[in-house]
């Protein structure tokens, strides 16, 4: 009996010869499959909490004319088999250069690059059956292969080395020769070493983080004043803001940085509470004015009178602090390369 959500894609993975990566989530699905199908590379899995939905990636040898491929996919009637008749493909976005992290107007359903197509679809009410998914995946692969070439045993990076079996680079299937794999690892190691040697400027980080904490405290107090409630989301927002500004100032993140950002987040929430009490005092006794000392006094008194409600604010603050610390985890600079074979054993274990 597994405590996790149930695997659903084992049969599909076996049928297509994909590597199957079992479900590890309680609430959110994490199961994913990857491998080669009809000469193209496929990865299917579930999006993150921020970008939920089914995410199917199809990778193909680099094409010269992305616009032509885009038009071919839009015109391809077989893609009407996708949910909503695949209508969103008419708004397919072409992405060049590095990935954008901030996007206005949400994540597009279809994103095309010179060597990949990502189809992301949110299912609001039910999870699609594996057999359906298999059909949609097949439709996508077939439609793409009509316009692009297939992988023919050569490396997709240098186009000369031999790559007969895909590898997973940061969980993305790629056709990469041994030389290119080595170079990628060496570059990653170099980047990590450079990062380690760069200075973690704690003081500038602290200074900027402090500004964010003040802004956060005012926002916390304002939200509470307007809604008469407190929100865990506000604490999470403060944590994210503090972490982001800390990183601006500090450059490199380390353990001390995580502690600083977590502490600033808690300080921000507590200060927000003090501000709201100071504001209440000002409303009741205008002659005192906005006095943080008075706010602090009421805050301490509240701990005596109704410790439960103040404990909840601290609990929320801790959630925000956790978010801040999490956001300041060391970036992963080295690509993780796994052979497609090594993981395929997992699907046979069933
Ligand atoms: Zn190569």
Phi-psi domain of 97 (left: phi exceeds 0; alpha: psi -120 through 50; beta: other): left
How far does the centroid of ligand 1 lie from the alpha carbon of residue 38, in Å? 21
Are the C-beta atoms of residues 221 and 238 closer than 8 Å to each other? Answer: no
How far does the centroid of ligand 1 lie from the alpha carbon of residue 219, in Å? 52
How far does the centroid of ligand 1 lie from the alpha carbon of residue 185, in Å? 13
Given strand 172-174, what is the order of strands in its sheet?
A: 172-174, 167-169, 337-339
Is 90 exceeded by the pLDDT of residue 103?
Answer: no
User: Which residues partner with 33 through β-bridges?
Assistant: 20, 44
Residues with Cβ < 8 Å from 51, sequence gap 6 or more? Answer: 107, 120
Rounded to whole angstroms, the Cα distance separating 133 from 138 reads 8
Q: How many CB atoms lie within 10 A of CB 244?
A: 16
Cut 0.85: pTM above it: no
How far does the centroid of ligand 1 lie from the alpha carbon of residue 9, in Å? 31
Rounded to whole angstroms, the Cα distance separating 216 from 239 reads 9
How far does the centroid of ligand 1 lie from the alpha carbon of residue 181, in Å? 7
Rounded to whole angstroms, the Cα distance separating 228 from 312 reads 14
pLDDT at 319: 95
How far does the centroid of ligand 1 lie from the alpha carbon of residue 41, in Å? 16
Is 50 exceeded by the pLDDT of residue 342?
Answer: no
Which residues hold their Cβ within 5 A of ligand 1, which is an ion? 155, 157-158, 161, 177, 180
How many residues does this entry show for the chain?
350
- Please spell the DSSP secondary structure of 47-74, one letter per residue: --SSS-SEEEEEE-SPPS-HHHHHHHHH
How far does the centroid of ligand 1 lie from the alpha carbon of residue 156, in Å? 7
What average pLDDT does the structure give for the chain?
A: 89
pLDDT at 350: 34
Is 60 exceeded by the pLDDT of residue 1?
Answer: no
Q: How many CB atoms lie within 10 A of CB 191?
A: 14
What are the tens digits of pLDDT across the range 132-156? Answer: 999 999 999 999 999 999 999 999 9
- 231: helix, strand or coil: coil
User: Which residues partner with 59 through β-bridges?
Assistant: 41, 116
Rounded to whole angstroms, the Cα distance separating 289 from 215 reads 21
How far does the centroid of ligand 1 lie from the alpha carbon of residue 337, in Å? 14
Residue 92 has what DSSP assignment? P
Structure tokens at 160: 């000369």
Is 60 exceeded by the pLDDT of residue 100?
Answer: no
How far does the centroid of ligand 1 lie from the alpha carbon of residue 346, in Å? 28
How far does the centroid of ligand 1 lie from the alpha carbon of residue 158, in Å? 4
Residue 45 has what DSSP assignment? E
How far does the centroid of ligand 1 lie from the alpha carbon of residue 161, in Å? 5
CA 269 to centroid of chain Cα atoms: 26
Rounded to whole angstroms, the Cα distance separating 90 from 82 reads 13
CA distances from 56 to 22, 44, 49, 134 (A): 17, 4, 16, 11
How far does the centroid of ligand 1 lie from the alpha carbon of residue 43, in Å? 21
How far does the centroid of ligand 1 lie from the alpha carbon of residue 174, in Å? 11
What are the tens digits of pLDDT across the range 13-67? Answer: 999 999 999 888 777 888 999 999 999 999 999 988 777 889 999 999 999 999 9
User: Which residues partner with 337 through β-bridges?
Assistant: 169
What are the tens digits of pLDDT across the range 198-251? Answer: 889 999 999 999 999 999 999 999 999 899 888 889 999 999 999 999 999 999
Counting beta carbons within 10 angstroms of the beta carbon of residue 139, is it exposed (0 to 12), middle (13 to 18) or buried (19 or more)? middle
How far does the centroid of ligand 1 lie from the alpha carbon of residue 176, in Å? 5
């Amino acid at each position: 009996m597994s405590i996790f959500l149930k695997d659903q894609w084992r049969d599909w993975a076996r049928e297509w010869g994909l590597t199957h990566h079992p479900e590890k989530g309680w609430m959110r699905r994490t199961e994913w499959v990857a491998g080669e199908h009809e000469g193209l590379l496929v990865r299917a899995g579930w999006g993150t909490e921020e970008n939920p939905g089914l995410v199917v990636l199809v990778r193909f040898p680099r094409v010269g004319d992305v616009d032509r491929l885009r038009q071919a996919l839009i015109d391809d009637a077989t893609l009407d088999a996708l949910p909503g008749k695949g209508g969103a493909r008419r708004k397919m976005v072409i992405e060049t250069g590095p990935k954008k992290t901030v996007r206005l107007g949400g994540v597009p359903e279809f994103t095309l690059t010179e060597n990949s197509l990502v189809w992301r679809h949110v299912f609001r009410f039910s999870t699609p059956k594996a057999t359906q998914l298999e059909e949609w995946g097949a439709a996508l692969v077939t439609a793409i292969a009509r316009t692009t070439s297939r992988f023919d045993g050569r490396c997709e990076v240098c186009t000369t080395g031999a790559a007969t079996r895909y590898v997973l680079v940061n969980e993305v299937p790629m056709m990469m020769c041994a030389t290119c794999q080595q170079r990628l690892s060496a570059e990653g190691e170099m980047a990590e070493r450079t990062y380690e040697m760069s200075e973690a400027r704690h003081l500038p980080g602290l200074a900027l983080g402090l500004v964010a904490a003040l802004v956060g405290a005012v926002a916390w107090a304002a939200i509470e004043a307007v809604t008469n409630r407190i929100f865990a989301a506000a604490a999470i927002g403060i944590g994210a803001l503090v972490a982001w500004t800390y990183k601006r100032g500090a450059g490199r993140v380390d353990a001390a940085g995580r502690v600083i950002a977590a502490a600033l987040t808690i300080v921000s929430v507590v200060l927000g509470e003090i501000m709201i009490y100071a504001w209440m005092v000002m409303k009741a006794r205008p002659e005192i004015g906005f006095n943080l000392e008075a706010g602090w006094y009421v805050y301490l008194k509240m701990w005596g009178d109704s410790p439960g409600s103040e404990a909840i604010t601290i609990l929320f603050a801790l959630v925000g602090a956790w978010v801040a610390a999490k956001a300041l985890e060391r970036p992963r600079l080295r690509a993780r390369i796994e052979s497609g074979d090594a993981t395929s054993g997992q699907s046979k274990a069933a």
